[in-house]
Chain A
């Protein structure tokens, strides 16, 4: 354990939180191609086909922000504070600045982030896309994001995080506070492609009101120096639902400590955490924690890990029931690829390598809800590239 703790330790002094201003770009097509390539990898479509809005932040500068549909707001957090004085009731109300040194830094030196809001009753047709991008060497990016899905609205946000190729060091701290109001649905898909020297510390808290739904998809297939997150979700209203899916791959040098905590505080709330993790030389600690505070709640946790190359795959499922009448279960499995599966496919004519990659692809193929087709395809491609790196 100590080894991991060390790997997970980050000294803030090593990073600089200032960066040159990047100028605003009116059209996404004007962004330079090295950057857009990286954006594409994390699901940002510069042609904005089937998108309802876009937000892009490079280092500390918001270089693009717009909405393409009525009833949805996309802007930088500083703009939103000017525009909506009431935002004070949301900022730092779910996450406390005292949580740890990262939140303290984000509070002390706020450096933008996005504000995305779907207005009451509005079903946002296409996803809103956002990208948080680091270009500067040795940079600490502190962002603060707020998402509000107003009553009975529906919105899907795809957020990609990436760095310029060949960055040697960097730190990303993202404080996110999500509010899913009565009867609203927020689907949040996060795709990470950070680079193998970058430390990443997202700090996310979500509140879900009566009948609201949060679906969170998290995908990290590429190397990352270290990643530690454990978003907390409060199901505060009757019948609220949370579904968390994650797909993680840790190659050599990658350390990931990724969990989800869901508190089921009202009757008829439901929660599900599903994770698929592949260790190929790196470390993954996949956590899941569900807390049942009242009767008539249902929670299920499923964590499957595959170890392809020496490393560490640790599944830590936790269930806490406080009263009779909670229905909570978990399923965790860590293993290697079953030889019988490989030989079955070989008997159909695949060579060993093809058989293994087919099995790995299947393993990672969790049904990710609401994923637009082009991203699903890209994901598929990313998975096959990942396989090559793993073999």
Chain B
């Protein structure tokens, strides 16, 4: 689904990502760990194509297409969706408006989606205007649910979210990724989910989100390279016990 080869990225003239190689196959959820400032958000912004993240070397391929220099909206239409850590406020544009825009020509029941995310009371507010940290997360999920991307990039979806809403959010991520679907009689599970299954890259520091979604793999970004890849829970345990540096050192 997504393939990144030898990716080198500059931000404000400074190389932030040195040499990234990554592959997310169809239907897999990968977790991205890494200390503050290691470049996790930058990697997502680069995959989405934001200005300011300059690819100086390497290539990003999505669904077999080279998207390294594709405009943002074309990537979105091709099926990439991102939840932002610090999205801008757009004055005069309500959350309802933007959710409808995300749906494009698909018909979506905005009220129902908002209800599922405990977000009905926010639909008429200007998007992101004075939203709390947790409200931003739910607003971003709501937009993505309407957008229905095939590859979902989630930047710390659980940070700042309270205990009750983290359950809500976890469920909505599962719903978005088409996980945790019940099996009707007579049909193999695999067959049901196959059509709609989504891929995801999820940044987390705490790993709390792992209680709600199943991760196929974990990776660690350190010093501008992805140095490590294995079971996400295992990585988390190591980071907790030994810290990033030690964890990276012993992985070598």
Contact = CB atoms under 8 A, between A and B. Distances in A.
B48 interface: yes
Interface string B53-84: 00000000000000000011100110001101
Report whether over half of chain B's contact residues are helix, strand or loop; otherwise say mixed.
mixed
Contacts of B92: 361-366
Interface stretch (B96-104, B180-188, B220-228, B238-246): B96-104
A364 B92 CA distance: 7
Given A340-B88, A362-B91, A348 B51 contact: no
Given A352-B73, A359-B93, A362-B93, A347 B48 contact: yes
Interface in A319-346: 338-341, 343-346
A344 B88 contact: yes
Contacts, number: 68
Interface string A146-177: 00000000000000000000000000000000
A361 B91 CA distance: 9
A366 to B, nearest CB: 8
Given A340-B88, A343-B72, A348 B98 contact: yes
B199 interface: no
For the residues of A in contact with B, the DSSP-based class is helix
A346 B88 contact: no
Which range contains the number of A residues in contact with the other chain? 20 to 34
A373 B164 CA distance: 39
Contacts of A343: 50-51, 72
Nearest to B74: A351
A350 interface: yes
B147 interface: yes
22 contacts: A339-B51, A340-B88, A341-B90, A343-B50, A344-B87, A347-B48, A347-B72, A347-B73, A348-B98, A348-B101, A348-B143, A349-B101, A349-B102, A350-B73, A361-B92, A361-B93, A362-B91, A362-B92, A362-B93, A363-B91, A363-B92, A365-B93
Interface of B: 48, 50-51, 71-73, 76-77, 81-82, 84, 87-88, 90-93, 97-98, 101-102, 104, 126, 143, 147
Given A349-B77, A358-B101, A361-B92, 20 more contacts: A338-B88, A341-B90, A343-B72, A345-B101, A347-B48, A347-B50, A347-B81, A348-B98, A348-B147, A349-B73, A349-B76, A349-B147, A351-B73, A352-B73, A358-B90, A359-B90, A363-B91, A363-B92, A364-B92, A365-B93
